[in-house]
Amino acid sequence: MYFGKKNKKSSLNKQTGDITSPFNNNMDEKQSVQQKGKVTPKTENLKPISDSTEVFIKEVKDQLHSPADLIIRNMTESITIIYIDNLVKEEILNGKILPVLQDIQNATPDSIHSQLPLPQVNVEDRLNECIKTMLTGAVIIHVAGYAMVTMVIIPARESRGLSAPENESQVIGSQVGFNESLSTNISLVRRFILSPDLSNEQLKVGNQTNTSLSILYIDGVASEQNVNTVRQRIQTLDIEDLIDSAELAELIDDSSLSIFPQMLLTERPDRFCDGLLSGKIGVLVDGSSMGILCPYAFIEFFQSREDRNLRWPIATFVRWLRFVAIFISIFFTPLYVASLTFHYEVIPQPLLVPLSESRAKVPFPPILEALFLELIMELLREAGARLPTKIGQTIGIVGGVVLGTAAVQAGITSNILIIIVALCALSSFITPSYMMGNVIRLLRFPIIILAGFWGYYGIMLAFCILVIHLLRQTSLGAPYMAPFYPPRLKDLGDSLVRLPYPFIVRKSPNARVENPEYSKVRVNLKGDKEKGEE
């Protein structure tokens, strides 16, 4: 297993937007990794638009390879419209564009531009820009005798309606999640944050897909250095396609070879907005129902937005329950293997007899027995996730009971190990982040192998390697293990426990809030604002 590479220091130049923190990755090194295997971008076509309608139509067909859904309509002797079917809103085309074109006299591109009652109307004289805009949902209006066109952008994009998040459910709080429409997702964010300081920068990534994405942050709260880092990493990407936000997160994070996620993927607008208000940078990708939040510390992956909605003693108990579940999920099965293989003396005397009777018919050593059951558990989990909902639940319950009972009766495994493996699997599902939950389940396998060969020494070796790797990781150059390393006592409180609201400081441990006053504001029980020490 590869645990990533140590990040090097770099410097910042404000004119060029380079990174300037001792915690940030060397951008040259980052870019050199991204350069490997990349495709050389195509030479940009700067061919001008022909003033002949026939030549222009032929050039458009050649560029688009004569698609079957290309619509060409002659409105008058001089006016021709071209668009791709199902990419434009037919009601706007028929209700606001065609009537104007039919009544216009002495049409020119400028006169059409001035008379169309729509916000997104442009005049273009480059063929490549005309084609790109047409693919985003534009109607192209060509007037014979003019080497330019009028582009009316009226995209029609189908998207599913808003629904409750499927992977990040909560009992108390908002019950709406992102969908695949970028404009809808941005509107959801603006519904939560009604502030003029909410900044939205739009970029396009992918030579083939030309995918739109938005970088969201609160001006004056998010660190300008972090914003420049995210912007630069996205702008320097040279890839052919971008389909989902998970791909983008892996492309722009600090250590793409690490198994630990350094950016949060969330489908909850309330959690996304909570991160923006804490000084983080968010990225929304068109076509993806998951938003990206960065920088993100390791401990924040085990915190839920619902913690803010529960009373602070209950939320604190749930957080500590998650920490206990992490330890159980990763180390419980390895401890069983190590104890039965090398360290019988640590097992309490009352448990020796039940353990001996349970393993009397098992012909395999504990390491093979544990790996076999863990593999079965992962197979059941994957099968339940890929099958339809009703069938998946049946497979998970019936399959687990039938296979577990059959394995014990056949003498392949023991009853006690089935209980331990089931407890470890249950503990891994408590993690609020799906990606971090996958990491926890994966970590069990190498630790079980080390425990089977070297016992408790192997477990300690795995634990040391894991801690060293986590201490070396960064997220946008910020320490991944903040606020534990480097130690920040003022941030420890709201990390380990959910403090009462009068003592909560709205600042992420590694977000580097730009405005110092923002990280000091606290709200007392009467609703008055007071400033406390950092």
Q: What would the pLDDT profile of 275-328 be if each residue is shown by its tens digit?
A: 999 889 999 999 899 999 999 999 999 988 888 888 888 989 999 999 999 999
Cα–Cα–Cα angle for 81, 85, 89, nearest 5°? 85
Q: Note the pTM of the prediction, 2 decimals.
A: 0.79
> CB atoms < 10 A from the CB of 31, how many?
14
pLDDT tens, 369-420?
899 889 988 888 887 777 776 666 666 666 767 777 777 777 788 888 888 9
Q: Which two tokens stand for residue 222?
A: 């998010």
pLDDT (average), residues 72-82: 90
- Asked whether the beta carbons of 151 and 168 are under 8 A apart, the reply is no
Q: Which two tokens stand for residue 98?
A: 């065609």
Q: Give the per-residue pLDDT at 515.
A: 62
Euclidean distance between CA atoms 83 and 133, whole angstroms: 10
Q: Give the per-residue pLDDT at 458.
A: 95
Q: Give the per-residue pLDDT at 43.
A: 41
SS3 514: coil
> CB atoms < 10 A from the CB of 152, how many?
25
H/E element, 203: strand 198-205
Q: How would you classify residue 102: left for phi > 0, otherwise alpha for psi between -120 and 50, otherwise beta? A: alpha
User: Closest by alpha carbon to 380, among 367, 392, 366?
Assistant: 392
SS3 341: helix
Mean pLDDT, the chain, integer: 82
pLDDT tens, 98-109?
988 888 888 888
Place of tokens 């950016």: 263
